[in-house]
Structure 1
Amino acid sequence: MAIVETAIKLWNGWEMRVLVLLSLSLQVILIAFGSKRKSTTSTWINFIVWSAYLSADWVATVALGILARSLGSNAPNQNHSLQSFWAPFLLLHLGGPDTITAYSLEDNELWLRHFVGLVFEIGVAIYVLLRSWVDGDTTFSCIAIPVFIAGIIKYGERTYVLMSSSTKQFRTSSLDNLLRLYEDSGAEMFRADSFLLRVDSLFKRLKFLFADLLLDQNQRYLCNKLIRELEPRVAFEVVEYELGLLYDLLYTKARLVYSCFGIFFRCITCLASVSALVTFSIIIDEHEYSPVDRFVTYLLLVGAVVLEVYALLMLTSSDWLKLWLVVQKKCHLKRVRKGRRWSRSIAKCNLVSFCLQKEATKWIIVKKLLGIYEMLEKHQNVEWQQGIDDDLKCLIFHQLDRRTKELEDFDNTELSSKVLNYRGECVLNEMKLLDELKWSTVDVEFDESILLWHIATQLCYYDDIKTTDLYSLINEYSKISRCLSEYMLYLFVLRSKMLPKGIGEIRYRKACEEVFDFFKEKRDIQIEKAYQELLEGGPKLEELRSDESSILLKGRDLAKQLQNLNKRNRGRKEKWEMMNKVWVELLTYAAGHCGWKEHGRQLAKGGQLLTHVCLLMAHFGISGQYRDGQLSLRQLPKKKLLTWWERIKISHHRQP
């Protein structure tokens, strides 16, 4: 019991110090790693940011509560006088860094909860300061006031940004800028002669698209002209820049920080932190206060200054500042290439490789008990390819460009919708193979089509590379098909919400069962031999012939048909070029049918190629968000939409 009592006394003496230092440490983690998650797929970084984000508010709130309780229940002493000075810093921490306000889009919808927290925490901080004043501890009151003001500003900024990024407010603010968008459209056509000016013009349209608003055919024509004049590599850079800006709007304080008010507030908070540090170092009496408490206070002050200076440096080097300077004609930056604005990586999954992998039974039992077995099992088969191949970018860009050129009437939304819904049949029709291969594309559901073409692509590849002297040549032809087939399967298995709704999970499990049964006694077989055995078939595979829904058998039949093209005056190169284009159509179909909200969620997880393709399609005019006809300026409201407060005032004046 003596040990327990000693431990309790020790904790009571140190709990406030530990919590304050922990709160400061969490702020450092968030400002250092908060914005990195948009450019990395690292599980560890995402876990660290997630843990720090969830813990930061809780730690600061608990620390404020303990500080208020200690001042109310204990006799005043010098240590309490100094510790009461920590309250404004905890309020500052609750405001969070500029690099992250929301961990997920759902956090923006909870802005009202943060507003209530703002009112409550400010009240607690005021209580702490007033109680310290009443107890006669006025030594640090004057220093605490500017820090307290900075804390209110930071917390208020966070609440405002969360509200502004919520679905309803994002849509409302987009509607408020509708008139300006249409007024500037004509001038933008001629002034978008540089990389950043094109980014600015296209990003304005992206915000409308993300808000699920409709644009007219004039806007479709403008976006199409701005994007198709670029090289494929540059077009993807424009899209990457836009999505980086969208990430900042949704998950950081960019909406406010990169404005006149935001810069003004940042100067105030920076001056408040510096003035508090200087004043404290002058008036502090080193003999009256505990060395530990003085050390903690100095850490809080220095930490606040360092974080503010870091925020200012981030402000001066941001994409937003460069974009503003170019738009305002303050400088003549032509290109901005430095830095990654997404992970630039593609995840891959292979069906047969997943089914052949082995795992110790004891670990399976442990993972099932923890309820994480299925999640980890799927992730184990994921491989990451760094960088997007330029050939893939060119193929996607030119295929989209060609589809828009083929439209007989660009203003016809019905024809545009037809292009949006291509999922392989257009390419097959061009190659005069639609009648022969239609059963594997439009005659089946989209999720089944992905599985069939994934199996067939892998079988064709391993069958073609049997000839060693053609290995490098076949690999060059097939790299796009293999990459997209494994990427689409990754989306199918781990990002199913990004694909059209269906029974994909059921079909995937059925396909896995068929592979398990086929290789029941050969789990250690090499992947090349496994695909060769599948292609050759045998009694086990033919047993599935009676099952009309067999994914494995139909995938193998598709591969056989594709391989027969080699024997009908169609070389391997022509076959793989056709398959590459089919996969691009499957990719664009998936991209065009994924909601913007789901694309937005992926921005905080390193981004997805699918999102970049979706935005590129929208810029080409391949989107369901363009309406028929044109919208004249006379049809638009001349003023912004009334706010709720303006509506209240109008209704009040109308009452008799």
Structure 2
Amino acid sequence: MPGWMVRTVFLLNSWVIRALVVFSFAAHVTIVFLAGVRRRTAIGLPITILWAANQLGRWAATYALSKLALGSTPQELQLVTLWGAFLLLHAAGLDNITAYSLEDNVLSTRQKVEMILQVSGAVFAMYKNIVIRSGSGTMVWVSSFMFIMGIFKYWERAKAMQLANLENLRSSIKKKKETRRRRSLRNVRRPSSSKHDNDEEALLVAHGLLDITKGAFVDSSVDEHQIPEYAARRREIFPKSGWGMMYKVVDMELSLMYDILYTKATMVHTWYGYAIRAASPFATSMAFMLFWFESKQGQRKTDVLITYVLLGGTVLLDIRWLLRAVASTWTYSFLNDRPHLWVYHAFLCSGKWRLLRRLIVSLDPSLILAKEPSSYRKWSGKIGQYNLLHECTGDKDERTRDYLSSVVEKVASEDTWMEYEYHNLRGIHISHDFKKKLLDCIWDYMYLAYPGEDVEEKKEEEKKKKEAEKKPEGPPPPMMPVEHHNVENIRKLEEALDFLPEFQESILIMHIATDVVFMYTEFEQNAASSKSKDNMEVIKALSDYMMFLVAVRPTMLPGLKLRSLYEATEDALAKIWSKKESSRCSSRTRQKCLSDILRCMENKRREKRPDKSDNWRLGYRTRNWQPDYTTDLYSVSIVLSDGIKLADHLLQWLHRDYWVKFPKSEYSYEAKFAQMFPKLRKILNRRPMYDHPDKWSQLLEHIFLEWVRLLINASVKCTRDSHAKQLSRGGELTTVVWILVEHAGVFRVDRQKR
């Protein structure tokens, strides 16, 4: 190879290394400030930038380390060796992000090989400088400091990812239960007695109760013998004895669970982690000072500038991580579990930790805009909205008027566009009134499954037994395995709320029926009170939200056939609309026109003919019975037929002049809907109150009860992995409801005080 070609290759190689080092540091800093946005959003420009920085930054570090190991010019070897230590630090990740997705916590063979190659590249660069070329002097010490810190932090990242794996987390919790090592409720901080409980108080309580949420995510419930202890302290931990404070605590617990799964929290807040964060600023500052006084003769100004940027930036970041670790409520929890330490009395008991936390938070630019230091942890409160009838009657080419959404639709997948369109753009933030009405209803349901009075009575009975019997006769009965307690609790909830396994069909039928009922009750809506109008808005939002989960986030719902059933229903609607669309329908009345078409098809009766097998077919909820007759709509879609039929049932109950003939048999539609929607059964089985002034509000109340029942069902039967994945994508209302149910099962519910 000619000499000029060799020089060109070396020149390109050296500049590629410089570019990769700068790019890796830029990606590192970008991730520092954007890692937290995943707590509150699933898609958008910040998420896209974060994903790109995470992926490209890891690639740059890996590729640059391989280049350092394979070759570099002798003149640049000292600085290149130091850069290799920085690249290893970048590859080790940050305190506020380890895994970008839940799957990253499962260290595959590819990831292990990648980690080995990254460390090997840095080790080989050090080896060439110190051993082969007999390197000495100040730069060797500087490189050594940074290299040692890189090794420690790289191991810390790997260990944090291993601990965050759900299977490993479950094993560790199981071991603690076997050895009876669990967090005592005596260390749970009581919230402030102030009327306005702030987020920080809720966060401190959440640390003490985190075992409940952690156990829920790994399907390991609280020990049965601990439940009386939890129930006894319910009014002490939650003074208002209802969902208000508990909702805040659950919100914070889910945020702490995000820390466990997607950050280094499990390693940072240990003796090892605190030691690393305390030593890092001193080590990097010393490296900076050594390089400052080192002779720069023979070095390029560009290389010296890059090195200063890397050293200075690393010093600032290490100081930041130290201050965040000290001010974190994880540190409070760490010390609170160790009351025998002098640090506990010096900082927690004296109140100095709270003052120090406030001071540090006020200096943190990422939190300074928040009114409460912990408010950034809260769920955004945004729920997606998707209406089936609206989507099927809208123009496919004009699904959105937002320019960015149209760009996303062209360049991204259909799922990504739907996530952006129906959550980011059309989604709504739930109001305080919405949340209050929803959670009040959930709390009433929880009382049916987990009444607090039963636990207290049981505790009194046990005390009386102990007083009556001095010594137990015979061996104690075998205890139920801890893993089975959660299954028993779920069964109690199912019995109390009449849950049924075929869940996906219920949402579709109820969504269609709700829309149709609202379209044919204009008179009632105009004459309704403001309270009824507010209830209609809540029902509509909840219906469209559940439909959003069906269409856009099917992994957040139980059932394997959910996606195919939804797609078949949507295709059937689209075909009906395209064939029978009326040219006189304006954009405002398209959904009403489609409803008219569907009801007309449902009223066209088809007699059952034994020689035709297509009049009736086996399907959801029809496997054990055969209707007396079928309709045109039934032959197209069972779900659409049942949705219209349910709407007709409700409208017939509401209107005097509304009459629909239903088949009367042992397996009638009344019996079918009563089984699927038990809360509506009270309306359907009740005598019509045509002249009753409160009939519309009563119907709304029962429709709302049914939607809340479906929401709870979806929440508790969604897979744990899906809940865990959604934590890194902005969170979900169903996850909050699920953890509330878990807490209700542990603390029990006092009906008198919400």
- Whether 2:413 is the aligned partner of 1:372: answer yes
Looking at structure 1, the residues matched to 422 and 207 of structure 2 have their Cα atoms a distance apart, in angstroms, of 40
Which one of the candidate residues 385, 404, 421 is aligned to 2:450? 404
User: What does residue 216 of structure 2 align with?
Assistant: 209
1:252 aligns with 2:263: yes
Moved more, 357-366 or 538-547: 357-366
Matches within 5 A, 1:265-284: 265-284=276-295
Whole-angstrom distance in 1 between the partners of 2:710 and 2:533:
21
Taking the aligned partners of 1:582 and 1:622, their CA distance within structure 2 comes to 25
C-alpha displacement at 1:395, in angstroms?
A: 2.3
Q: Kindly tell me: are residues 614 and 221 of structure 1, through their superposed partners in 2, closer, same or farther at Cα, counting changes over 3 Å?
A: farther
The answer on whether the counterparts of 1:357 and 1:523 sit within 8 Å (CA) in structure 2 is: no
Contact 1:19/1:59, CA 8 A, preserved across alignment: yes
Q: Find the aligned partners of 1:469 and 1:600 in 2 and give their Cα distance.
A: 45
Q: Secondary structure at the match of 2:384?
A: strand
Where 2:158 maps in the other structure, the secondary structure is helix
TM-score normalised to structure 1 length: 0.81
Shift in Å, 1:187 = 4.1
Change in Cα spacing, 1:191 to 1:505, as seen in structure 2 (3 Å) is: closer
Question: Distance in 2 between the 1:289 and 1:533 partners?
Answer: 77
Q: What value does the CA root-mean-square deviation take over the aligned residues?
A: 3.8
Which residue number corresponds to residue 590 of structure 2?
Answer: 530
Q: Distance in 2 between matches of 1:474 and 1:7?
A: 78
Mapped contact 1:541–1:553 kept (Cα < 8 A): yes
Offset of 1:421 from its aligned partner? 2.2
Deviations 1:246-288 (A, max 9, x none): 1111111000101221010112222221111121112132x52
Q: Is 1:18 matched with 2:19? A: yes
Q: Displacement, 1:322?
A: 4.0
Partner Cα separation in structure 1 for residue 419 and residue 173 of structure 2 = 39
CA contact (8 A) 1:343 1:606 kept: yes
Instruction: Provide Cα deviations, 1:485-525, integer angstroms capped at 9, x if missing partner.
Output: 11111111222222222422232123212322343235995
Partner of 2:575 in structure 1? 517
Distance in 2 (alpha carbons) for counterparts of 1:225 and 1:308: 44
Residue 80 of structure 1 pairs with residue 77 of structure 2:
yes
2:608 aligned residue: none
Equivalent-residue separation in structure 2 for 1:581 and 1:532 (angstroms):
25
Corresponding residue of 2:133: 135
Aligned residue identity for 1:594:
C
Q: Which moved more, 1:550-559 or 1:565-574?
A: 565-574
* Higher RCO by CA contacts (8 Å cutoff, separation 6 or greater): 1
Larger mean CA deviation between 446-455 and 464-473 belongs to: 464-473
CA contact (8 A) 2:219 2:486 kept: no
Which position in structure 2 is the counterpart of 1:652?
none
CA contact (8 A) 2:92 2:150 kept: yes
What is the deviation of 1:116? 4.4
Alpha-carbon separation, structure 2, partners of 1:534 and 1:523: 12
Q: How has the CA–CA distance of structure 1 residues 189 and 218 changed in structure 2, closer, same or farther, with 3 Å as cutoff?
A: farther
Structure 1 residue 123 and structure 2 residue 120: aligned? Answer: yes
SS at match of 2:713: helix
Q: How does 1:604-619 map to 2 (within 5 A)?
A: 604-619=728-743
Correspondence 1:459 to 2:516? yes
2:310 is the counterpart of 1:300: yes
How far is the alpha carbon of 1:475 from its aligned partner?
Answer: 2.9
Map 1:99-248 to 2 at 5 A.
99-110=96-107, 114-133=111-130, 134-135=132-133, 137-139=135-137, 140-178=139-177, 187=186, 195=202, 198-224=205-231, 229=238, 230-248=241-259
Q: Distance in 2 between matches of 1:414 and 1:288?
A: 71
Kept in 2: contact 1:224–1:621 (CA 8 A): no
Once the two structures are TM-superposed, the CA of residue 59 in structure 1 deviates from its matched residue by 0.9
Q: 1:592-636: CA deviations, max 9, x gaps? A: 11222221111010111111111111111189xxxxxxxxxxxxx
Distance 1:184 1:474 in 2: 46
Structure 1 pair 517–342 and aligned structure 2 pair: CA distance change class (3 A)? same
Q: Deviations over 1:270-319 (max 9, x none)?
A: 2221111121112132x521111111111111121122122223223323
* Residue 319 (structure 1) aligned with residue 376 (structure 2): no
**Paired amino acid for 2:556:** M
1:58 Cα deviation from its structure 2 partner: 1.8
The answer as to whether partners of 1:233 and 1:390 remain within 8 angstroms in 2 is no
Deviation digits for residues 105-128 of structure 1 (CA, Å, limit 9, x no counterpart): 211111665454444333322221
Task: Tell me if structure 2 keeps the 8 A contact 1:98–1:252.
Answer: yes
Q: C-alpha distance in 2, partners of 1:57/1:563? A: 60
Change (3 A) 1:241 1:369: closer
Amino acid at match of 1:202: L
For structure 1, which segment, 108-117 or 334-343, has the greater mean C-alpha deviation from structure 2 after superposition? Answer: 334-343
The reply on whether 1:596 has 2:720 as its aligned counterpart is yes
1:184 and 1:377 map into 2 onto residues whose CA distance is 43
Aligned-partner Cα distance in 2 for 1:532–1:526: 10
Map of 1:653 onto structure 2: none
**How has the CA–CA distance of structure 1 residues 324 and 546 changed in structure 2, closer, same or farther, with 3 Å as cutoff?**
closer
Moved more, 335-344 or 581-590: 335-344
Q: Structure 2 vs 1, CA of residues 490 and 190 (structure 1 numbering), >3 Å: closer, same or farther?
A: closer
Distance, in Å, in 2 between the alignment partners of 1:518 and 1:597 is 38
Task: Kindly provide the amino acid, as one letter, of the partner of residue 441 in structure 2.
Answer: L
Superposed, 1:19-98 pairs within 5 Å as 19-71=20-72, 74=73, 76-77=74-75, 79-98=76-95
Conservation of the 8 A alpha-carbon contact between 1:224 and 1:619: no
Provide the rounded CA distance (Å) in 2 between the counterparts of 1:541 and 1:454: 17
Alpha-carbon separation, structure 1, partners of 2:227 and 2:32:
39
Q: Which residue of 2 aligns with 1:386?
A: 429
Q: Give the counterpart letter for 2:300 in structure 1.
A: S
Q: Which moved more, 1:415-424 or 1:275-284?
A: 415-424
Alignment pair present for 1:555 and 2:635: no
Report the CA distance between 1:186 and its aligned residue.
Answer: 6.8
| 8 A contact 1:500–1:593 mirrored in 2 | yes
Which residue identity does 1:88 align to in structure 2? A
- Provide closer, same or farther for how the CA distance between residues 565 and 418 of structure 1 changes in structure 2, counting only shifts above 3 A: farther
TM-score between the two structures when normalised by the length of structure 2: 0.71
Determine whether 1:349 maps to 2:386.
Answer: yes
Structure 1: stretches of 5+ with no match in the other structure: 426-440, 624-656
- Unaligned segments of structure 2, at least 5 residues: 193-200, 356-371, 459-484, 605-631, 656-687, 748-754
Aligned twin of 1:571: 695
Would the alpha carbon gap of residues 342 and 197 (structure 1) be closer, same or farther in structure 2, given more than 3 Å must change? closer
Q: Distance in 2 between matches of 1:485 and 1:362?
A: 20
Q: Give 3-state SS (helix, strand or coil) of 1:349's partner.
A: coil
1:188-232 CA deviation, whole Å, 9 max, x = no partner? 699788745642342123223322224432234444555675332
Deviation at 1:451, TM superposition (A): 0.3
Name the counterpart of 1:582.
706
* Distance in 2 of aligned mates of 1:504 and 1:68: 51
- Number of aligned residues: 599
Tell me the CA shift for residue 473 of structure 1. Answer: 4.5
Give the drift of 1:69. 2.2
TM-aligned CA deviation for residue 458 of structure 1: 2.0
SS in 1 for 2:378: coil
Q: Which amino acid aligns with 1:110?
A: L
Match of 1:266, SS?
A: helix
Is 1:420 aligned to 2:482, yes or no?
no
Alpha-carbon distance, 1:238 to partner: 0.6
Single out whichever of 467-476 and 362-371 deviates more from structure 2.
362-371
Task: Find the residue that maps to 1:421 and give its secondary structure.
Answer: helix
The residue type equivalent to 1:376 in the other structure is W
